[in-house]
Amino acid sequence: MALSFTSLNSGSNGNCYYVENQHDAIFIDAGLSCRETEKRMERLGLSMSKLRAIFVSHEHSDHIRGISVLAKKYQLPVFITEGTLKNSGIDLESHLVRSFVAHEVVQIGGLEITSFTKFHDASDPHSFIVTCNGLKLGVFTDIGTPCENLIRYFSSCDAAFLEANYDDEMLDKGRYPHHLKARIRSDYGHLSNLQALDLFCSHGLHMSHLLLSHLSKDNNRPELVSELFKSKSQKTEIIVASRDQESEIFHLHNSTVSANPRPKNSKSVQFSLFD
């Protein structure tokens, strides 16, 4: 059974990542309006009826803007931590709120979703790994520093969305005030192109696909970061996830599965779609 994925949008203007197998699908974040999300799904030939849940990484508006309307319209359970919900302002029907715990596996049909904590300037930020039939995809954005959690989970993935937010020289010479530049570069800000490249070269050269994500509009260029990664990528397909439109749909098949096992301390939690 293949694991398929796409970015509906990736950037400070909205983030939404779609992952599916043959029967079930999830969103990781939903930072576009409901109407725009539906338009992009339709253009890709994807059905909203296949969605089973939304997983929320943190409360910043570019990750949650569409959640309230999408969840209500399609009666989608929203997996969100208490801290993120409290600070998000999301208006959710109580029966649609689900919690999750770092390193515990949530089962959504044939998909297994595992979260881990990360460094970012939010109340309780998490990243996610989606597994199906041994295939593993990671969604790693809005990360200030490549901590041990990130390295461990990233190295176990067959494909990933990885933040490459800014080029150091462009940020230095750009129009942002000093305090904002410092925030972006801090351990609770975003990954630079070079930080992401080092992570990839050290732990990700086995991957089939790498989607460079959450690029800054002002402090990065798609062609710059694409060329940087392609020069080191060997067999990995490098794609820049657009901040303006949906990407194509990519597929992982069993022949592409790496030998990396699931991290040893992960636990499993069963979730019924009919709760």
CATH number at residue 153: 3.60.15.10
Q: Is residue 135 part of a domain?
A: yes
Residues 215 and 12: beta-carbon distance below 8 Å: no
pLDDT at 273: 37
Composition of the chain by helix, strand, coil, percent to 5: 30, 25, 45
Q: Is residue 262 part of a domain?
A: no
Distances (CA, A) of 72 to 32, 75, 78, 95, 157: 15, 5, 10, 10, 32
What's the order of all strands across the beta sheet hosting 159-163? 237-240, 209-213, 159-163, 135-140, 126-132, 111-117, 104-108, 267-270
Q: Is residue 264 part of a domain?
A: no
Domain count, the chain: 1
**Angle at which helices 67-74 and 34-43 pack, to 10 degrees?**
70
Q: Is residue 266 part of a domain?
A: no
Residues 108 and 273: beta-carbon distance below 8 Å: yes
89: left (phi over 0), alpha (psi -120 to 50) or beta: left
How many other CB atoms are there within 10 angstroms of residue 206's CB atom? Answer: 15
How many other CB atoms are there within 10 angstroms of residue 184's CB atom? Answer: 20
In angstroms, the CA 143 to CA 162 distance is 9
Residues 63 and 85: beta-carbon distance below 8 Å: no
In angstroms, the CA 214 to CA 12 distance is 7
In angstroms, the CA 81 to CA 48 distance is 24
Q: Is residue 95 part of a domain?
A: yes
- For 52, the token pair is 């089973």
pLDDT at 255: 65
Q: Is residue 270 part of a domain?
A: no
Q: Which positions of the chain have pLDDT values less than 50?
A: 256-275
30: three-class secondary structure by DSSP: coil
Q: Is residue 227 part of a domain?
A: yes
Which helix (H) or strand (E) is 227 found in, with range?
Answer: helix 222-230
**Torsion angle of alpha carbons 35, 30, 271, 163, nearest 10°?**
150
Q: Is residue 265 part of a domain?
A: no
pLDDT at 262: 41
pLDDT at 109: 96
In angstroms, the CA 145 to CA 178 distance is 19
Q: Rg (Cα) of the chain, in Å, rounded?
A: 17
- Phi, psi for residue 181 in degrees, rounded to 5: -60, -40
Range of the domain at 25: 3-255
pLDDT at 254: 83
